[in-house]
Amino acid sequence: MKYRLLTSIICGTSAMILSKSAEASSITLVPVLEVASQVTPAGLRDVFRVYAQFENPADRVNRWYGDAPNPMTIQNVLSDGATLGTGFTQFGGSGGQLAPYHHPLRDWDTYATIGVRFGQDAPGGQDATALTAGFPPFIASNTFQTNSGAVFLIPQTAVQGRADWRVVENDTNLRVMLMQLTVMPGQHVRGTINVDGQFWNGTGYENFSAVGLTFASIPAPGGLVLLGLTGAIPKRGRRMISGQ
C-alpha cells in the first residue's frame, strides 16, 4: 500500500519527577501525524499515533486510564482546536478496540494499545494489552470519555511496555505507543489521560502516576512546540505528577 510518511510532532504536556539520585525523569505525550491522506477502505484519512515519550530507554508504561477524580477524554476536532470533527474512523467495531493481530483491514483503524502496532509483534505473538470491563467503544464518534476505564498490561512487567522495546520509524527507543487515531484529512486530535508506569533511576525502578497529561495535534501560533512541566507530588507511597 503506497502512502506518504510524515513526522509532524506538534505539542504535548510533560510531567517531571526527581529520582533519589537527583536526576530528572519525565513523561510527555507526543502526537505524531504518521500518514496524511492515507488510502483506506473508508476513503482518504489522516492517521495519528500518540506516544508516551521518556528520557530513559528503560522507562515503561504499565497502564493509562481515566478515573472519577481525573476523567479521560479524547476528541476529534477541527483546526480551530475547539469545534468537534466528523468522528474517528472505526473499522473494527466492538471487537476492534485493541491493536490488530496482523496486517488486515484494520491497518488504519482507531485503537488503544501499549507498545504494539500489531499483536503478532508482541513477544511470542501474545499481546499483553487488556481493557477493564465495560471499557467504552474506542472510538464510536468524535468523543471518547471515561471515568472508570483503563488500558493495562497483563502482566504489569510485560516487556512491550518499555520505551526501547519497539524501535520502528517514529516509535523511537524513548517512546511507547498508546493509541492510533484515524480521522478525516485536515482534522485533528486532542486528549487528556492519566499514565502509570516506572522510571529507571540507574539502580532500580520508581513507580510514578502522571495525572492529567494532555496532547493536541493543533499547531500553536507560529508553529512552536509547547511543553508544560509540573513538579512531583508524593501520594500514598507513589510519586504523583499532574499535567496542566
Whether the upstream peptide bond of residue 31 has omega within 30° of 0, thus cis, is: no
* DSSP-assigned states of every residue in 143-176: EEEESSEEEEESSTT-GGGBTTS--BTTB-TTEE
State the pLDDT confidence band at 22, using cuts at 50, 70 and 90. very low
**Number of domains, the chain:** 1
Q: What is this structure's pTM? A: 0.84
Letter for the amino acid at 83?
Answer: T
Residue 58, domain extent: 5-242
Q: What is the pLDDT of residue 107?
A: 84
- With CA atoms as reference, report the closest residue to 76 among 196, 233, 218: 218
Distance CA 211, CA 224 (A): 24
Average pLDDT value over all residues in the chain: 83
114-146 pLDDT tens trace: 999 998 989 899 999 999 999 999 998 999 999
Set of cell numbers at residue 199 = 522510571
Of the candidate ranges 83-97, 128-142, 193-207, 212-226, the one whose mean pLDDT is the lowest? 212-226
Asked if 193 and 64 count as a contact pair (C-beta separation under 8 A), the reply is: yes
